[in-house]
């Protein structure tokens, strides 16, 4: 009797899957997804094309001089060197502060922490922090890293801006790293334990190499978001106009002195009247796109390398 019912159930499922109505709904859903993809790509192509058409003449006319020139009140001589340098140091601070701490927190929460009420509470709050508006992190950065810790960060400085953005992307790094670690099959861990390896040896030699592609993808996406944020930097005091440091400024003076970044410069130039400033803003957007794509390219190369090692 059970075999008869199972056969009847199988026939009904096969009939439902092969019905014309099911196929029509499936095709409609596939075409809807395809249309969404094409619309998104079309919007992206239009935006990038418009930026290239507006900003490319700046590179044609001025060449590398646009990259090496500093801020100026004259659109014919203004450049992105100070903003590019500030963005570089912010990226370095984010990498040094957010990535090791985020990956370490993810390893603890995913590999060591038990499923207790406290740990579930921590996980929920980390996911909530990932959705907090960036302007809130800017207020936090001004209150803590500029005002309360000004003696260590130099007050309004690239250190304060970099640490603020590191705190902003830290929840994202933790979440993406946890997902990458969770995707590692348990059989890999069990094989390590089976040959007598300790938990740390299993994590270091087996889990982390397997999860490396996902870890790299998550961290680079977090870095791209940090490099494109403007609101937190405005609140921590990034300069929107002309400023200069002494030519003999030391490394520490550069990190603790006034600073700007590419998003701030783009914001400043885009609101100034005149076609020359709009072209400069578009050219600066091209520069930040190149920086972001370069970081993504490095992550893709490293991810492919780990994929090859994992499949070998």
Confidence of residue 221 (pLDDT cuts 50, 70, 90): confident
Total structural domains in the chain? 2
Same-domain check for residues 78 and 28:
no
Q: Is the domain of 78 the same as that of 14? A: no
Same domain, 21 and 89: no
pLDDT average, residue stretch 226-243: 82
pLDDT score, position 16: 60
Pick the range with the lowest mean pLDDT from 14-18, 137-141, 249-253.
Answer: 14-18
Do 50 and 127 reside in the same domain of the chain? no
C-alpha span between 34 and 30 (Å, rounded):
6
Give the pLDDT confidence of 134-162 residue by residue, as tens digits: 999 999 999 999 888 888 888 888 899 99
Among 59, 75, 108, where does a domain finish?
Answer: 59
The tens digit of pLDDT for each residue in 263-280 reads 999 988 888 888 888 999
For residue 14, is pLDDT > 60?
Answer: yes
Closest by CA to 99, choosing from 190, 210, 8, 212, is: 212
Judgement on whether residues 39 and 148 belong to the same structural domain of the protein: no
> What would the mean pLDDT of 14-26 be, rounded to a whole number?
64
CATH number at residue 173: 1.10.3720.10
Tell whether 90 and 147 lie within a shared domain.
yes
pLDDT at 290 over 80: yes
For residues 226 and 296, state if they share a domain. Answer: yes
Among 19, 34, 59, the domain boundary falls at: 59
pTM over 0.95: no
286 — pLDDT class (breaks 50, 70, 90)? very high
Domain that holds residue 18: 2-59
Q: Which of 27, 42, 59 is the last residue of a domain?
A: 59
Residue 248 has pLDDT above 60, yes or no: no
What local confidence, expressed as pLDDT, does residue 1 receive?
A: 47
Q: Among 62, 63, 89, which Cα is nearest to 226's? A: 89
pLDDT tens-digit series, residues 30-72: 899 999 999 999 999 999 999 999 999 999 888 888 888 888 8
Same domain as 68, residue 24: no
Average pLDDT, the chain: 85
The pLDDT, as a whole number, for residue 93 is: 93
Do residue 153 and residue 176 come from a single domain?
Answer: yes
Q: 186 and 132: one domain?
A: yes
Residues 147 and 24 in one domain: no
Q: Both 123 and 175 in a single domain?
A: yes
């Amino acid at each position: 009797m059970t075999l008869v019912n199972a056969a009847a159930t199988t026939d009904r499922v096969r009939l439902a899957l092969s019905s014309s109505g099911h196929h029509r709904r499936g095709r409609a859903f596939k075409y809807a997804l395809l249309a969404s993809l094409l619309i998104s790509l079309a919007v992206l192509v239009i935006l990038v094309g418009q930026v290239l058409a507006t900003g490319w003449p700046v590179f044609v006319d001025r060449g590398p001089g646009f990259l090496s020139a500093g801020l100026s009140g004259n659109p014919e001589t203004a450049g992105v060197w100070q903003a590019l340098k500030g963005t570089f140091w912010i990226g370095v601070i984010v990498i040094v502060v957010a990535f090791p701490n985020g990956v370490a927190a993810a390893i603890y929460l995913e590999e060591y922490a038990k499923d207790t009420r406290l740990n579930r509470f921590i996980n929920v709050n980390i996911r909530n922090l990932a959705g907090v508006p960036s302007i809130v992190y800017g207020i936090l950065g001004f209150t803590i890293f500029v005002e309360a810790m000004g003696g260590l960060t130099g007050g309004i400085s690239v250190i304060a801006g970099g640490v603020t953005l590191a705190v902003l992307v830290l929840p994202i790094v933790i979440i993406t790293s946890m997902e990458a670690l969770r995707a590692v099959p348990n059989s890999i861990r069990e094989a390590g334990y089976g040959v007598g390896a300790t938990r740390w040896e299993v994590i270091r030699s087996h889990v982390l190499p397997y999860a490396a592609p996902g870890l790299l993808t998550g961290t680079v996406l977090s870095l791209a978001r940090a490099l494109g944020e403007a609101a937190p930097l405005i609140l921590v005091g990034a300069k929107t106009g002309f400023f200069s440091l002494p030519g003999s400024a030391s490394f520490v003076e550069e990190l603790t002195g006034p600073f700007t970044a590419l998003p701030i410069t783009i914001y400043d130039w885009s609101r100034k009247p005149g076609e020359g400033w709009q072209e400069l803003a578009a050219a600066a957007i091209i520069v930040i796109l190149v920086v972001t794509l370069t970081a993504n390219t490095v992550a893709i190369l490293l991810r492919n390398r780990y994929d090859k090692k994992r499949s070998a």
